[in-house]
Amino acid sequence: MLDIQKVRADFPILSQKVNGKPLVYFDNGATSQKPQVVIDAISTYYREYNANIHRGVHTLSQLATDAYEVSRNTIQNHLNAKHNYEIIFTSGTTFGINLVANGFASLLHAGDEVMVSALEHHSNIVPWQFLCEKTGAKLVVIPMSEKGELILSEFDNLLSEKTKIVAVNHISNALGTVNPIEYIIKKAHEVGAAVLIDGAQATPHLRPDVQALDCDFYVFSGHKVCGPTGVGILYGKEAWLRKLPPYLGGGEMIAEVTFEKTTYADLPHKFEAGTPNIEGGIVLGTAIDYMNAIGFENIAAYEHELLLYGTQRLQEIEGLTIYGPEVSAGNKASVISFNIEGIHPYDIGTIIDKLGIAVRTGHHCAQPIMNFFNIPGTIRASFAFYNTKEEIDIFVEAVKKAQMMLS
């Protein structure tokens, strides 16, 4: 069990006031807050061993390189990747997806099919549209139900030997739906398709085991797991990473350069051109260590409590509709996306911000989901392990107050 007050004390930002009210931060689906240990690690890097990595023989460069590679090993162990060179540092989930999509441009032909789901973030739609436009491949979409779940029978029907890659999120950012990725991966592999899992919303809540999942690619962002912005991870199976061409050209990703021909460095450097976000890469390891010390089983259990409680309290409000799976279905993360009849979500969000409450309003970069439900957007409350039931009470009362003001 979590000692919630001890956990909250780790996060300096949670003690501040916004608009004269104690901060209630329920926008964790957009980005997480940072514990003091992560903030300190950033400061330590710049204060004590700031230097470029992999290139210098001097002491600071060696210290920075060692710390960066220790972080790579930390993330390898966290994901249970077979090799540390299967861990590629990126700028985030979006970059990782684009890297893979760009690589598949050399592998696809007209008539091939790329499959995504109706539950995807724009970052897992647009790069595949680019790919299809470039190659003549067809984009195929796994449909969703009114419950905000993928229709697996339709997925089975859509799969064929034309399917070359399936890209789906582990957890929907807009609805909190936990997708049955084990089933999707297994079925896709039966027709010879590769599978990319967008883990941006999953990694704050659970610990993926990429070998057990048998996914070909898994991507996530550091800033959603208590780490810095501007850093993320692409895991790829060695065989696929060797098959794909480099995404960016420049320093570090080369073995030898002449004006006649360039040969590429081995993994992982083949995909890590230029000076990276060194501080971000190092401190992402610190953030992962912090969350593992708390324990992802503890995090998941506590966040499920918050989800149950928040759902129960919000259902007290007349005219309120929650989108996505029911909590009892067991396939929902700690996200509640809702609207109140006759009121635009933006108006609710604006009023409760004045009361110190941070939520996300809008389409959440998932416009196809909003189009499916024929709504302009939702109010999304996304909970983290440092939130409390008391904060949910404050939030619900604020929503009730906003409803009264806007009715």
Q: What is the pLDDT of residue 384?
A: 98
Tell me the C-alpha distance between 100 and 102, whole Å: 5
Q: Is the pLDDT of residue 10 over 90?
A: yes
Taking residue 144's Cβ as centre, other Cβ atoms within 10 Å add up to 22
pLDDT-derived band at 336, boundaries 50, 70, 90: very high
| % helix, strand, coil for the chain, step of 5 | 45, 20, 35
Tell me the C-alpha distance between 323 and 354, whole Å: 25
Tell me the C-alpha distance between 145 and 151, whole Å: 6
Least confident of 91-105, 232-246, 255-269, 390-404: 255-269
Name the catalytic one among 132, 215, 226, 365: 365
Taking residue 191's Cβ as centre, other Cβ atoms within 10 Å add up to 13
Tell me the C-alpha distance between 106 and 236, whole Å: 17
Query: Alpha helix locations (H) across 207-361?
Result: 210-213, 238-243, 278-294, 296-314, 345-353
Q: What percent of the chain has pLDDT over 70?
A: 100
Q: Is the pLDDT of residue 251 over 90?
A: no
pLDDT tens-digit map of 14-38: 999 999 999 999 999 999 999 999 9
Q: What is the pLDDT of residue 263?
A: 83
- Written as six digits, the tokens of 223 are 């800033």
- Written as six digits, the tokens of 57 are 């023989």
**What per-residue string of b and e applies to 291-306 under the rule 16 or more CB within 10 Å gives b?**
beebebeebbebbbeb
Give the DSSP H or E segment for 329. none
User: Higher confidence at residue 55 or residue 64?
Assistant: 64
pLDDT tens-digit map of 184-233: 999 999 999 999 999 999 999 999 999 999 999 999 999 999 999 999 99
Tell me the C-alpha distance between 62 and 281, whole Å: 15
Residues 6+ apart with CB under 8 A from 40: none
End-to-end alpha carbon distance in the chain: 41
Would the CA dihedral through 83, 89, 90, 92 be positive or negative?
positive
Tell me the C-alpha distance between 233 and 220, whole Å: 5
pLDDT tens-digit map of 345-387: 999 999 999 999 999 999 999 999 999 999 999 999 999 999 9
**From the centroid of its chain, how far is CA 287?**
15
Residue 365 bears catalytic tag: yes
**What per-residue string of b and e applies to 106-128 under the rule 16 or more CB within 10 Å gives b?**
ebbeeebbbbbbbbbbbbbbbbb
Q: What is the pLDDT of residue 290?
A: 98
- Written as six digits, the tokens of 144 are 């969703």
Q: What is the pLDDT of residue 223?
A: 98
Q: What is the pLDDT of residue 345?
A: 96
Q: What is the pLDDT of residue 260?
A: 86
Q: Are strands 320-323 and 360-362 parallel, antiparallel or unpaired?
A: unpaired
pLDDT tens-digit map of 162-185: 999 999 999 999 999 999 999 999
Least confident of 102-116, 260-274, 356-370: 260-274
Range among 248-252, 259-263, 268-272 rated most confident? 268-272
For the segment 273-289, the average pLDDT, to the nearest whole number, is: 97
Identity of the amino acid at 32: S
Q: What is the pLDDT of residue 262?
A: 85
Q: How many CA atoms lie within 13 A of 94 on its CB side?
A: 9
